[in-house]
Amino acid sequence: MNDRIRTDIAHNARVWNYWLGGKDNYPVDRAVGDQVTGFYPSIGEVARADRAFLGRAVTHLAADAGVRQFLDIGTGLPTADNTHEVAQRVAPDARIVYVDNDPIVLTHARALLTSAPEGVTEYVDADAHDPEKILAAAGATLDLSRPVAVMMLGILNFVLDTDEARSIVRTLMDAVPSGSHLVLTHPTLEPELGGEGNKAAMAFWNENATPPITARSRAEFASFLEGLDVLEPGIVSCARWRPVSAEACTVAQFGAVGRKP
């Protein structure tokens, strides 16, 4: 086993996999996952809504916005409908770079490297706190002079300092041209999304699991999109971003897509 993998403390990538119904997790992840669900019963729904948002956003970007390059940071363990599968269903020549810093995601990364022959997928083991390293590595696969969809789904919540999180986003978006997009999801405590229940769940998480997490307000989330044209319907519960069904629920996870003008 990779000696970076710790089975004595719950890891976000593995607990997220558990909530999504995956098998790549350990007893400690399932125990903490169940305890968090006790505090915040809709957490599984949040995880599923986040992935469904990913599917709709990537489909829109590939099919309607003509984006052919995706930089998916904090990608998580491989699951159904990974970014390259969604994008290459529309555009087999799409190029995808996945980034995560969790050692177990690295050991499963080959499952993400199943590109259509016309396109490319690559995996980079890097930390979101180091956007320059990510850009340097991504530049080996992506042409950063052409539009890129920078995807940060459920990851800025692990950058605890909001100024630093903004600076990471700015560094990434400054490195890509007009026509590039930023795709975001982020948990919140905002009552308008029913987020109050997240508070105890996050406090429990921060005492029992890794890495530590934070929620953000609507205003903080909006600040990540500053300077971008936010696509319709704006900043909403990710479940309500262009839902396929009129019966979409509301989960306490903001979702939005911004286009660099």
Ligand X SMILES: C[S@@+](CC[C@H](N)C(=O)[O-])C[C@H]1O[C@@H](n2cnc3c(N)ncnc32)[C@H](O)[C@@H]1O
Site of interaction with ligand X (CB under 6 A)? 12-13, 16, 50-51, 54, 74-76, 100-102, 105, 127-129, 153-155, 158, 211
Give min distance, CB of 233 to ligand X, in A.
19
Look-up: residue for tokens 């479940």?
Answer: 239
What distance in Å separates the CA atoms of residue 156 and residue 186, rounded to the nearest whole number? 7
Residue number, 155 or 235, with CB nearest to ligand X: 155
| Of residues 80 and 93, the one with the C-beta less far from ligand X | 80
DSSP-based three-state secondary structure for 89: helix
- Residue 130 CB, nearest approach to ligand X (Å): 8
Residue 100 DSSP label: E
Give backbone dihedrals phi and psi of 149, rounded to 5 degrees, phi first: -95, 115
Residue nearer to ligand X on the CB measure, 103 or 234? 103
CB of 4 to ligand X, least distance (A): 12
Question: CA 112 → CA 22, 53, 121, 181, 228, distances in Å?
Answer: 15, 19, 7, 22, 29
Residue 13 or 58 with smaller CB distance to ligand X? 13
Closest distance between ligand X and the C-beta of residue 21, in Å? 13
β-strand pairing of 120-125 with 229-230 = unpaired
Calpha distance 70→91 (Å, rounded): 12
